[in-house]
Structure 1
């Protein structure tokens, strides 16, 4: 067994509070790996094509209008599929629920050995999607976004970091790990492009600034 210890790390990004990361020595844990988003040049093109529009209201929104985590077959739901995909040496309860493993969060390089310390982040948050056009969708379409394993919409990350993100767009929040900003922006733009979601002025400007530096 590798040696495991914990230390407290202060994350100075947005409203993220100090959090405890479990660091595992003597091993190279799996990096969270959603489907690879389009390259930077393509992301710039997609960003320019996004309809610029002020965010809509949250009136009527609830997470229940984006059903998740949906059944993915073989006794697995979407969360469990992502935990297996993004983890290393993932052990289950004999069905599909992860009981142990190692997960490295791409957002902050936190390493975790308990599934309960890991959140599955919706890269484009569900509330953000609602304000950007999903309010008009069918429930089936919203369920597709909330459980999308085909595009770069779901990723296993440190729970505290995900909670600090909330429903903020890239103008208000970016992963603490600055070297991941380019990938994050490509992921965000790709999802909004695929689903025909809008982007407000400050969001587009923030994304353009990131992509222009990549």
Structure 2
């Protein structure tokens, strides 16, 4: 099922922008995002709540199959329907980790070297693959010593970036973004996979939330990405809550 463009989602947000609990988007256990306009909204009792349709979709949710109500909402605002650019692929940000300087260490290895608090140990004398070191996870504060237990997290996930403006970038800019040391963090594999393509509007780490949200927002600004107004407001409130 094709998704509705951000213009459509913005129209829905306009129609349902009153700040009451009934206006929250409900994500059902089956992963369907129900805004108040959904015919199943009131019948959805067991759900995870989101402030915006975009943040619910970014968490892996999907819209209901019956889009007639959404079309009517959009028509009432004089806006047109279109298809969201949903053809995200990891390869559009490059094929895996890049070794731009040709020194045998790709951007994963370089992130591990730079972020270890002790000298790292390599797999062999070529010094290509990192085996051990000492990393303090920004998501938990725990010490990790085996590189195999680490995922290199994109602070701003690639798909989140794609959905918020990176789909219009050149391939070179997307590859730079995917390998930018400022966007790479050494974290527990389990938490990186739990986070997935979500931004802070729908996922937060157990600890270090000020550092995480601050870094996320800074990268978004540097690269000119465009969060929805709802997500922007949410990030702003999180900075006040966790960094104030």
- Taking structure 1 as the reference length, what is the TM-score of the superposition? 0.69
Whichever structure has more strand as a proportion of its residues is 1
- Structure 1: runs of 5+ lacking an equivalent: 1-53
Deviation track 1:33-91 (CA, whole Å, cap 9, x = no partner) reads: xxxxxxxxxxxxxxxxxxxxx68945111111111311143211100000011112310
Q: Larger deviation: 127-136 or 110-119?
A: 110-119
What is residue 115 of structure 2 aligned with on the other side?
86
Equivalent-residue separation in structure 1 for 2:100 and 2:140 (angstroms) = 28
Matched, 1:144 2:144: no
For 1:64-83, what aligned pairs fall within 5 Å after superposition?
Answer: 64-67=91-94, 68-73=96-101, 74-83=103-112
The match for 1:122 among 135, 154, 162 is: 154
Displacement after TM superposition at 1:171 (Å): 1.1
Length, aligned pairs only: 158
Cα separation, partners in 2 of 1:156 and 1:58, compared to 1, 3 Å: farther
- Structure 2: runs of 5+ lacking an equivalent: 1-53, 56-82
Whichever structure has more helix as a proportion of its residues is 2
Alpha-carbon RMSD across the aligned residues, in angstroms, is 1.9
> Which one scores higher on RCO, CA 8 angstroms, separation ≥ 6?
1
Pick the structure with greater CA Rg. Answer: 2
The match for 2:231 among 184, 188, 203 is: 203
* Secondary structure at the counterpart of residue 198 of structure 1: coil
Equivalent-residue separation in structure 2 for 1:109 and 1:183 (angstroms) = 12
